[in-house]
Amino acid sequence: MKKRMILLGVLIMAALTVCVCAALGESTEPERFLVISDTHLTEETQEHAAMLEAVVQAARGKDAVLLLGDNTNNTHPEEHVLVLEMAEEIRRQSGAEVYILPGNHDYSALRMGPKEFRAQYGAYGWNQAFSQDKETASCAVMTRGGTCLLLLDTNMRDGALGFKADGGIGGSTLVWLQETLEALPDGTPVLACGHHPILPPDRNERTPGANALSQVLRAYGAGLYLCGHDHGFATAEEKGLRQIIVGRPQAYPGWVGIVEKEETGFRWHTEGIYDAQSPFYIALREGAYALADTMARGTLSTTPYADDEAAIAWFVSAYMLLAGGEMTPEKNAALLADENCQKWREAETRTLAKEWMLNLLENSPEDVRQIDIPAGGKHPLKLEK
pLDDT at residue 270, rounded to an integer: 96
The closest alpha carbon to 126, from 103, 167, 98, belongs to 98
In sequence order, which residues have a C-beta less than 8 Å from that of residue 284 and are 6 or more positions away? 250, 251, 252, 253, 254, 274
Give the model confidence (pLDDT) of 173-227 as tens digits: 999 999 999 999 999 999 999 999 999 999 999 999 999 999 999 999 899 999 9
**Residue 158 identity (one-letter amino acid):** D
DSSP structural state of residue 220: B
The alpha-helical segments, DSSP class H, found in 246-372 are 279-300, 309-323, 329-337, 339-346, 352-363
pLDDT at position 160 is: 72
Residue ranges of the domains in the chain?
24-275+368-374, 279-363
Residues 282 and 276: their CA atoms lie apart, in Å, by 7
Distance CA 104, CA 102 (A): 7
Instruction: Please report, as a single letter, which amino acid is at residue 300.
Output: L
Angstrom CA distances, 59 to 91, 101, 144, stand at 9, 18, 16
Contacts of 62 (CB under 8 A, 6+ apart): 32, 33, 34, 94, 96, 258
Rounded CA separation 336/121 (Å): 43
Low-confidence ranges of the chain (pLDDT < 70): 1-27, 379-385
**So what's the pLDDT on residue 179?**
97
Say which DSSP state 106 is in: G
Q: How many CA atoms lie within 13 A of 65 on its CB side?
A: 27
CATH 3.60.21.10 fits 24-275+368-374, yes or no: yes
pLDDT at res. 47: 81
